[in-house]
Structures are given as C-alpha cells and as structure tokens.
Amino acid sequence: MSRFLRLVARDLRLALRQGSDATIAVMFFVLCVVLFPFGVGPEPNILARIAAGVIWVAALLASLLSLERLFQTDYEDGSLELLSLSSLPLEAAVLAKTLAHWLVTGVPLIVAAPLLAVLLNMDAQGFGVLVLTLTLGTPILSLIGSIGAALTLGARRGGVLLSLLILPLYIPVLIFGAGAIDAAINSLTPRPHLLLLAGILAAALPLAPWAGAAALRQAVE
Amino acid sequence: MPVFSGSELTCLRGDRLVFTGLEFRIAPGGALVLLGPNGSGKSSLLRVMAGLLKPLRGTLGWDGVSVADDPDGHRARVQYVGHLDAVKPVLTAAENLAFWAALAGAADPAANARAALDRLGVPHIAGVPGRYLSAGQKRRLNLARLLAAPATLWLLDEPTVALDRAAIALFEGLIAEHRAEGGMVVLSTHTDIATPGGEELHLDDFTPYADDEAGGEGEFQEEGAAR
C-alpha cells in the first residue's frame, strides 16, 4: 500500500512542479462553458435549460486534454519499464497514476462547476446534484481514459486516436450525469441516475486498471 | 545455491528471428558478458532475462524453478539498467533515486539514495533537478539505483555509455563487490569492462544462419539504393 501511495505522491509532485496540466484542464473547462452564452445568445431560460449538458460535455473534453500524457512521459524516459519490473503490480501502478490524474485534473473541475452553473443561470436545486454527479463521474472519466492512454501509447498522433477511442465510451456517463441534474431541477429524484453512475464507477474501478495494465505490458515489449 | 539459467531460448522481434537455441547458466558470484555485433540480440536477451519480453520458446529457470511460474519473485530479485535513464527532469537526483528505492521496499529511501550517490562519486548532484544533469551524470544516477535498491541479479544493457574512465573503474569495483557478496551480473558492452572470471556469451553463435543471410543482403541492397 505504501508503494502505491509513493507512486501517487510522485505523480502529484511531478504535476505540481510542471504546473501546466491542472491549470490547463480547468481553464479549458471554464472557457468552453463561457463560449456557450456567446453562441446561443444570453437568453437566461435557454441557458438554464442547457446548463447541465453543457457543463458535463465541457468536463468530458477537459478531462481528455491531459490523458494523452498519462503514461507517455513514463514510456519515453524508460520509467514504465522499471515500473513494470517493480514489485508493485502493474495494475496497482495504473490505478495509482489514474488516481493522481484525477486529483490533478478532476477535482479542480468539481470545484469550478458550481461557479459555471451560476454563470449559466442553472436552477439552484441542481447544484448539489451537479457536484455529486461530477464527484462520481470524473473518476470514471479518468479510469476509462487510462485504458485509452495505455492502448495508444507509442502511436503517432496518439491524442487524436485517444479521443476517437474514448469519447464514445464516455456517452453513458454523460447521459446519467446530465440526466441526474435535470431530474433534480424538475423536482424528480436523481437517485436512479446516481446509482447507475455509482455502478459504472464500481465496475470501472477494477476493470480499467486491469485492461490498462494489459495494454502497458504490450507497449513495453 | 541459486542458479540462474536459460535453455533453448528463442526470441522473435517483429518477424525476424533474433536468436535461437540459446543456453546460459550463471552461478552466484558469476558474471556473464554478452558480446556480438549490433542487432545480434544483446538487448533482447537482457529484456527476456528481466521478464519484459516473453521468449518465443525456451525457459528461464531460477534455482530449478521456472521463472514463468514465479514472475513476482523474479521481479523482486532483478535490477535492470536499460538504455533509457528514467530520470524525471523536474525531480532532483536524490528524489528520482529515492522513489525507485522506495518502490523496491527500502526502509529509508532518502538515506539509501544519498549513500548510493556518495558511492558513485556524485554527492553534489543530489539537489540538482534532472533536467540540468549531463548524460554522464544521468547514467551514474541510473547506476546508483543498483545500490539504492539492492537486488541479486543485475541486468545491465551497455552500462558504461557516456561514463568517463574514472567512473568505469569505479563501476568495475562495484560489480566485483556485488559478485563477492554472491550477486550475479549480466551485462552487454562494446567497451571493455573488466569482469575477472566472467564468462562470455557470443550471441552471433545463436543467430539463425539462413534467415540472417537473406535478411542481411536485403537490407544492404536497400541501403545501397537509398544512397
């Protein structure tokens, strides 16, 4: 366990010293959402209607931005070979790196989301559920993304390929995430949507590191 | 006494047969020097020994037990130094080293890292970020990993690239010390590294002839046409 935390701490330290990944993801998220009022017009009712979907789509795209580099630098400098030779199982290493990725890029999105909801005139009833869906949903995005990042390792234009591979898999998360917020705003219970999101998270938590590790083993060969 | 051995090893890279029917055996305190021209499979053999690459045929054994049956145990006794230095540009040399020591399960990784850098003769780079290190310093940092995270079997892929003469002499001393303690060393090299009593393995002895001649001529003609 302590080895697992060591790897998380190292990745966090790398991210903080380089500084760019975390700020880029959250800046992109904010800018992306801010563009919508310019595009669809500043009509408050329309913005309130589309707020949940817009915030969720922007969160999907923002979490994709830095995924490409999840394993890339370790692959290029040889760290990945050493990681796969260490006594930490590769599945645990994938999970640790995914956790660090989520802490760096996912958590700032959760913090920024309520502010953007205010900007889009979202009904205050939906705020709590918005934060809750993002808390359940962004780890899923990082987990599913880690499979794509491992599969596209070493490919030319891996970033584009990664988006094409991963975005379709994000659709269920988007449906239930935005659906839960809409339900809450319309005074319905968001519970089924949240349970389904939690179910996807529970499935992705063991499966994604397992698939990611298998892809990484291919990559280091 | 544990013995590391391989029998009937065959390695395929892409659709090229690199070596076939390769046998080796290393006893505690032994050293195996891999020799052969470029492309004869020295790096591939080291990667097979480390478990990074699966051989097409053949088995590796540790003390009579197949390595394939005990991959976790094998990883714990191997320390691999490849071509890439695995140095993070934003971490200091000591932090880079301490991370690998901690991952190998060292009780006090920071102390291990300092001691290892001292032994490699570069204590002054401990606080220097990886991006400011020279190629030789990075290499020494990478070799310091052997001391900071001790393992029985050292697999070294051209470990002396970018090292100066003093460092090579120092490194020969480290290898001798490791072997005196019962460790094993496998290394590939194009420069001379003194390994008294070490065995040599010529990889071109195991290169499949028919394939090699056909492939070699083809490559030569392509090169000629390109020029």
pLDDT digits (tens, 9 = 90+) for A15-68: 988 877 778 889 999 999 999 999 998 888 999 999 999 999 999 999 888 888
Between chains, do A81 and B52 touch, taking CB under 8 Å as contact? yes
Statement: residue A197 has pLDDT above 90: yes
> Touching check for B53 and chain A: CB below 8 Å?
yes
Between chains, do B88 and A221 touch, taking CB under 8 Å as contact? no
Higher pLDDT, B107 or B130: B130
- Distance (Å) from the alpha carbon of A83 to chain B's nearest alpha carbon: 8
pLDDT at residue B130 in the model: 92
At residue A41, what are phi and psi to the nearest 5 degrees? 90, 155
Interface test with B, best of A10, A69, A80 (most B CBs within 10 A): A10
- pTM of the predicted model as reported, rounded to 2 decimal places: 0.89
Q: Which band of pLDDT confidence, cut at 50, 70 and 90, is reported for residue B227?
A: very low
- The closest CB to that of A82, out of B90, B100, B102, belongs to B100
Between the alpha carbon of residue B225 and those of residues A24, B38, B202, B213, the distances in Å are: 48, 22, 32, 18
- The closest CB to that of B80, out of A13, A17, A85, belongs to A85
Statement: residue B155 has pLDDT above 90: yes
pLDDT at residue B70 in the model: 86
Q: Which band of pLDDT confidence, cut at 50, 70 and 90, is reported for residue B176?
A: very high
Quickly count helices (H) and strands (E) in chain B. 7, 9
A67-106 burial: b if 16+ Cβ within 10 Å, else e: bbbbbbebbebbbbbbbbbbebbbbbbbbbbbbbbbbbbb
SS3 A208: helix
Decide if B26 contacts B193 (C-beta within 8 A): no
Tokens representing A160?
A: 């584009």
> Touching check for A206 and chain B: CB below 8 Å?
no
Between chains, do A78 and B104 touch, taking CB under 8 Å as contact? no
pLDDT at residue B226 in the model: 41
- Chain B residue with CA closest to A219: the answer is B52
- Distance (Å) from the alpha carbon of A60 to chain B's nearest alpha carbon: 29
Between the alpha carbon of residue B227 and those of residues B24, B38, B215, the distances in Å are: 40, 21, 19
> Touching check for A218 and chain B: CB below 8 Å?
no
To the nearest 10°, report the CA torsion of A45, A46, A49, A52.
-120
Taking a contact as any Cβ pair under 8 Å apart, which residues of chain A between 28 and 67 contact chain B? none
- The closest CB to that of B76, out of A82, A84, A87, belongs to A87
At residue B159, what are phi and psi to the nearest 5 degrees? -70, -20
Average pLDDT, chain A: 92
Statement: residue B212 has pLDDT above 70: no
> Touching check for A16 and chain B: CB below 8 Å?
no
Stated as kind and residue range, the H or E segment containing B80 is strand B78-81
At residue A97, what are phi and psi to the nearest 5 degrees? -70, -35
pLDDT at residue B96 in the model: 93
> Touching check for B128 and chain A: CB below 8 Å?
no
Statement: residue A203 has pLDDT above 90: yes
Between the alpha carbon of residue B191 and those of residues A27, B91, B175, B199, the distances in Å are: 52, 31, 15, 16
Q: Which of B118, B198, B124 is nearest to B156 (CA)?
A: B198
At residue B153, what are phi and psi to the nearest 5 degrees? -110, 115
Distance CA A18, CA A14 (A): 6
pLDDT at residue B105 in the model: 84
> Touching check for A83 and chain B: CB below 8 Å?
yes
- In tens, the pLDDT along B45-80 reads 999 999 888 888 888 999 888 888 888 889 889 999
- Distance (Å) from the alpha carbon of B43 to chain A's nearest alpha carbon: 12
Statement: residue A184 has pLDDT above 50: yes
Stated as kind and residue range, the H or E segment containing B201 is strand B199-202
- Distance (Å) from the alpha carbon of A87 to chain B's nearest alpha carbon: 6
Q: Which band of pLDDT confidence, cut at 50, 70 and 90, is reported for residue A1?
A: low
Tokens representing A153?
A: 């390792």
- How large is the average pLDDT for residues B146-166? 90
- Chain A residue with CA closest to B81: the answer is A82
- Chain B residue with CA closest to A18: the answer is B90
- In tens, the pLDDT along A133-143 reads 999 999 999 99
* Residues of chain B contacting A87 with CB distance shorter than 8 Å: 72, 75-76, 103-105
Distance CA A88, CA A66 (A): 24
**Residue A103 per-residue DSSP state:** I
Distance CA A194, CA A135 (A): 11
